[in-house]
Structure 1
Amino acid sequence: MTTINAIEVSHLTKRFAQKTVVDDISFSVKPGEVFGLLGPNGAGKTTTLRMMTTLLKADAGQVKIFGHDTVKEGRLARSMFGLTGQYASVDEDISARENLMIFSRLNGLSRQDAKARTAELLTEFSLENSADKALKNFSGGMRRRLDLAVSLITRPALIFLDEPTTGLDPRTRTQMWTTIRKLVQEGSTIVLTTQYLDEADQLADHLAVIDHGKVVKMGTPAELKQQIGGTKLAFTVNDQTQVAQAFKLLGAQVTSAVQQTGQQLSVSLKQITQLTPILSALTQAKITISQLSVQEPSLDDVFMNLTVGKN
């Protein structure tokens, strides 16, 4: 049996005046995964998200949500997802409980069901102690949690999160990550735009890196990290007179260029298995080293490699 993708984006394009902001983007999102749209500010992430959620009309291309075309079957497609950030219209002067009640009723729940769902969401998002405070007294993190709670009133199968932790303190960010993981465990599919590389690394199953309106790379975080040059080995040669010998020895063991800064040598390894022969060769040559570090590439490295200097 073929599983329908949660999202199919085909050749999506958007121009503002003479500028192409989203340029022929295509990707698909599987049900039950976290899909990250990653890119610098102005790369086209939010514009792509706005077209996917029908807030913005595409100039070309198609989006399908669980097999339903967002243009031809807009109402049905919209009923299948929740979007945070669209509820800027929450009333600042009333409480979180009252806001959730209003949106529950607007979403078609009976008064009794709205009351029950509001209580559930307040508990789920750790807002029960502040439930009856006016929103103007809420911190940024509490507001963000309430935003997410509002988008989940109807328990949508698909949730769009546009930069959900921007501007939050580290503790609140971690709480949001926990909430997002919990939603996935409960069967939700999540599309996340972010400029935080650690966030994408922590949460996303698959990533599309967007720059200048184009998808420049796609894959799992691990695949993207592997593609840009593998593990970095660095160490300091203790005896200055042995640096040249160590440099030559290291160059003979690897195909990538050896970098030297004073007595420190570093090199990219294609595979971690290259480490043992290198250390054996250094020992045989009686070259003593210190400050040895073996670093896996980070998404920061991927991001810099894919998006910097491409202007």
Structure 2
Amino acid sequence: MGGNGALVSAKDLTKRFGEFEAVKGIDLDVRPGEAFGFLGPNGAGKSSTMRMVACVSPRTRGELTVLGMDPDRQGPHIRARLGVVPQQDNLDAELTVRQNLHVYGRYFGLTKAHVRAKAAELLDFAQLTERADDEVEPLSGGMKRRLTIARSLINDPELLLLDEPTTGLDPQARHLLWDRLFRLKQAGVTLIITTHYMDEAEQLCDRLVVMDGGKIVAEGSPGELIARYSTREVLELRFAPDDQAAVEPQVADLAERVEALPDRLLLYTADGEAALAAAHTRGVRPVSSLVRRSTLEDVFLRLTGRTLVD
């Protein structure tokens, strides 16, 4: 543990590749038992940070402790107590589902009997028991992702690192994966998740940092961040491409702020329906309109002037 009881603690953590600074002096603490998120677009520095925490990429500068240890000096000891789910599945396609777990368990020096019992438990957890003796190659993307997560748990890690865990999965597979991760958190496993999906961050993370350009631009719970940087509601107005610019001045005073995206105007307000009614009385006729709650996407747009997936 760090001096403050954190499982992961960083001060001025920096990663440079030649002239390029991927992570620009960030501070963070991850507490035991929480799901902690890094939210940001591709290239924000999330994966570079994760690789330093996973003790596979040395830091350029700054302080970092993981499980109370220094990755530079105690990397193997830390890695023995971590679970890592990389962005790309790196399963052995030639082996069966069960064999993938058995072989990986032996890397940790676990006995055959222990690995056999643990693998059976994890296959059940990942809902793959019926596919245990099938080869990996024909599995669906969601099944491969669940197997990669199951494999990362073979050593009963205290800390599980998940880099973009649901990229490329369909909605049903994502929700099933979220359920499995929620169960792990309930069982006391600390999760660190990188994602560029704001709904994933809202679903899974107790606390998160918003990263952009290698820096942390905000930190808090999803609810705190939305309350701090956005309004309760958002009115989305869509117009024909040539009409939007002319309409913006007409609605500017109907909201606390207005964001103009290429295909719509976003009006940030406490009462979206009232803003829509007021726009209608002024003769504003959008192609379509939508009143919704603010999300982390709105927080990111407020902080950076860009959407999460550009």
Same fold, TM-score > 0.5, yes or no? yes
Report the equivalent of 2:294: 297
Counterpart amino acid of residue 150 in structure 1: R
C-alpha contact 1:65 1:80 (8 A) present in aligned 2: no
TM-score between the two structures when normalised by the length of structure 1 = 0.80
Change (3 A) 1:309 1:230: closer
Secondary structure at the aligned position of 2:219 is classed as: strand
Equivalent residue number for residue 256 of structure 2: 256
2: CA distance, partners of 1:137 / 1:233: 43
1:19 and 1:223, CA in 2 relative to 1: closer, same or farther beyond 3 A? same
Contact residue 230 and residue 298 of structure 2 kept, 8 A:
no
Contact 1:231/1:294, CA 8 A, preserved across alignment? no
Query: Equivalent residue of 1:20, what SS?
Result: strand
Kindly state the Cα deviation for residue 233 of structure 1 after the two structures are TM-superposed.
Answer: 6.6
Q: Which residue of 2 aligns with 1:190?
A: 191
Residue 233 and residue 205 in structure 1: after superposition, are their counterparts in 2 closer, same or farther (change >3 A)?
closer
Q: Deviations over 1:240-274 (max 9, x none)?
A: xxxxxxx99xx7xx993699xxxxxx9644x67xx
Cα 1:22–1:139, aligned 2, differ >3 Å: closer, same or farther? same
Q: Which residue of 1 aligns with 2:163?
A: 162
**For residues 100 and 44 of structure 1, do their structure 2 counterparts lie closer, same or farther at Cα, with a shift above 3 Å needed?**
same
Q: Which amino acid aligns with 1:9?
A: A
Mapped pair 1:85 → 2:86: yes
CA contact (8 A) 2:234 2:294 kept: no
**Residues 157 and 233 from structure 1, CA distance in 2 versus in 1: closer, same or farther, beyond 3 angstroms?**
closer
Aligned residue in 2 for 1:208:
209
Displacement of 1:154 after TM fit? Answer: 1.0
Q: Write out per-residue CA displacement over residues 187-234 of structure 1, whole angstroms, 9 at most, x where no aligned residue.
A: 010000001110001111111111110111111111111122322376
- Asked whether the equivalents of residues 14 and 23 of structure 1 are also in contact (C-alpha less than 8 Å), the reply is yes
Using the aligned pairs only, state the percent identity: 37
**RMSD, aligned CA:** 3.3
**CA shift digits 1:13-38 (9 cap, x unpaired):** 11112111110011001111110001
SS of corresponding position for 2:210: strand
AA aligned opposite 2:305: V
C-alpha change, 1:53 and 1:292, in structure 2 (3 Å) is: closer
Structure 1, residues 132-156: CA drift from partner, whole Å, max 9, x if none? 1111111111111111111100111
Q: Distance in 2 between matches of 1:68 and 1:217?
A: 27
Equivalent in the alignment of 1:66? 67
Match of 2:283 in 1: none
- The whole-number CA distance in structure 1 between the counterparts of 2:136 and 2:258 is 57
Which aligned pairs between 1:36-55 and structure 2 lie closer than 5 A?
Answer: 36-55=37-56
**How far off its partner does 1:108 sit?**
1.6
Counterpart amino acid of residue 256 in structure 2 = S
Structure 1 residues 31-73: Cα deviation after superposition (integer angstroms, max 9, x where no partner): 1111000111111110110011111111101221222121222
d(CA) in 2 for partners of 1:107 and 1:175?
A: 28
TM-score for both structures, normalised by structure 2: 0.80
Query: Within the alignment, does 1:130 sit opposite 2:127 as a pair?
Result: no
1:306 corresponds to which residue?
A: 303
Q: What does 1:265-280 correspond to in 2, within 5 Å?
A: 268-269=268-269
- Farther off after superposition, 31-40 or 219-228: 219-228
Distance 2:120 2:99 in 1: 11
Matched, 1:22 2:23: yes
Report the CA distance shift for 1:20/1:257 in structure 2 as closer, same or farther (over 3 A): closer
Flag the 1:175–1:155 CA change in 2: closer, same or farther, 3 A.
Answer: same
- The AA in structure 1 aligned to 2:136 is L
Q: Given that residues 82 and 151 in structure 1 are in contact (C-alpha distance below 8 angstroms), is that contact kept between their aligned partners in structure 2?
A: yes
Residues 12, 22 of structure 1: 8 Å contact kept: yes
Look up the match of 1:287: none
What residue identity is the alignment partner of 2:191? I
Q: Structure 1 residues 225-234 or 181-190, which shifts more?
A: 225-234
Partners of 2:236 and 2:267 within 8 A in 1:
no
Answer whether contact 1:87 1:147 (CA < 8 A) is retained. no
Distance across 1 between alignment mates of 2:186 and 2:219: 24
* Residue segments in structure 2 that go unaligned for 5+ positions in a row: 238-249, 260-265, 279-287
Q: How many residues are treated as equivalent by the alignment?
A: 280
Equivalent residue of 1:137, what SS?
A: coil
For 2:201 and 2:258, locate their aligned partners in 1 and report how far apart those are by CA, in whole Å: 30
Paired amino acid for 2:145: R
